[in-house]
Structure 1
Amino acid sequence: MAHLTRDEREHLRDAVRLSAVALREAGIQYALCGGYAAFARGGPEPSHDVDFVIRAEDADTAREALSKAGLELREPAEDWLFKAYHHEALVDVIYVLGGEPVDERLLEAAETMEVLAVRVPVLQATDVVASKVACLAEHDCDYSHLLPIVRALREQVNGRYVPSCPASNTSS
């Protein structure tokens, strides 16, 4: 994992707080996912980015809310998310997670938790791990970054719902 300066770490943490408040105030369903969802559930604190999930139909409202909160928006080539920046801290706002559209079931299953002094809906541990495994690809199948997360969340994860290998990996 990358070593962050104190300022970089604070920018990431501020990005969690600012984004969560902006999305909540916009009145859309959202949830923290990825590394910070794992962190909220006892995993290591991430050093790369912040991830939120929303439904695709809420993307324009989310963009507007994050822009009003002072984040800089960028549209990547991928058509399943948009990116927002607080200083250089990256926030991914995802509406297709692990190849599946984010739906009401996923968002309603999220549990509201206190994360960095803000109450935020957080994906269930099983959904966090399953989405991370589902994002692996045949040519990018490095599990090493997942091991600390899986180890920390192992008692919270229902293994029956976690894919055993990347869906795109058709070699056997």
Structure 2
Amino acid sequence: MSEPDGAGRREALKRVAVALREGGIGFALAGGYAGWALGGPEPENDVDFVVTEAEAGRAAEVLTAAGLDVHQPPEDWLFKVYSDGAMVDVLFRLASEPVDAVLLDRCVEQEVLSVRMPVVDATDLVIGKLAALNEHACDLSKVLPTARALREKVDWPRAEAATAWNDIAVACLFLLRRLRVVTEE
């Protein structure tokens, strides 16, 4: 089976969002497709949604009942959903921190592909991308294009404070300042 193209991922995004909303699950579009919905580049990999850890089991049941193929991988912070070959990750922890109602409350409700859904706010999105950087996964190409595209929407002091514990995130923020993506106010 070949990898689904952008159209296949976008269709999976809509199917999962509609099923979660109809199932009464609190959720938000996250990851690269949240960045895309907020004005960044379209990602070339899977779609990500977040739910609270307390609702993860029910979310999996709702998606299964909607006819989607749900799998539990070895990782204990997400489950995977397949729709016509396209993969969607449903995460309930980001950078080892549980997804909570506070994060979901900061989301922006907007239309994505003609479907209204909550989208992770730009600052939380960038914090997640920065926090995921480590010595084994330090590909800045996963952060720089999104940070550049969303730069006016990001609360940079909050992003810096939230990731100060991560030396690679600190180095990335230094680079973003040097590139004038992050400007001092």
The normalised TM-score by structure 2 is 0.83
| Greater radius of gyration (CA) | 2
State how many pairs are aligned: 166
Write the letter of the residue equivalent to 2:33: Y
| Aligned-partner Cα distance in 2 for 1:44–1:152 | 8
Structure with the bigger percentage of helix: 2
Q: Deviations over 1:15-72 (max 9, x none)?
A: 1100001111111211111011101110011110111110111111111111122221
Structure 1 residue ranges (4+ consecutive) displaced by more than 2 angstroms after TM superposition? 163-169
Q: C-alpha separation between the residues in 1 aligned to 2:153 and 2:100?
A: 22
Match of 2:117 in 1: 120
Deviation (angstroms), 1:96: 0.6
Q: What's 2:75 paired with?
A: 78
Cα displacement (A) at 1:81 = 0.5
Note the residue ranges of structure 2 that are not aligned, 5 or more in a row.
172-185
* Contiguous gaps of at least 5 residues in structure 1: none
The partner residue of 1:139 within 129, 136, 140 is: 136
Corresponding residue of 1:167: 166
By how many angstroms is 1:145 displaced?
A: 2.2
1:99-118 maps to which residues of 2 (within 5 A)? Answer: 99-118=96-115
Inter-partner Cα distance in structure 2 for 1:16 and 1:31:
11
Higher relative contact order (CA 8 A, sep 6+): 1
* Structure 2 residue matching 1:162: 3-state secondary structure: helix
User: Shift of the alpha carbon at 1:99?
Assistant: 1.4
Q: Give matches, 1:32-51, under 5 Å.
A: 32-51=29-48
Instruction: Tell me, in whole angstroms, the C-alpha distance in 2 between the residues paired with 1:141 and 1:83.
Output: 24
What root-mean-square deviation, in Å, do the aligned CA atoms of Structure 1 and Structure 2 show?
A: 2.0
**Partner SS, residue 137 of structure 1:** coil
Residue 154 of structure 1 corresponds to 151
TM-score in terms of structure 1 length: 0.89
CA distance in 2, matches of 1:117, 1:137: 36
Between the aligned residues of both structures, percent identity stands at 48
Question: In the TM superposition, what is the alpha-carbon distance from 1:88 to its structure 2 partner?
Answer: 1.8
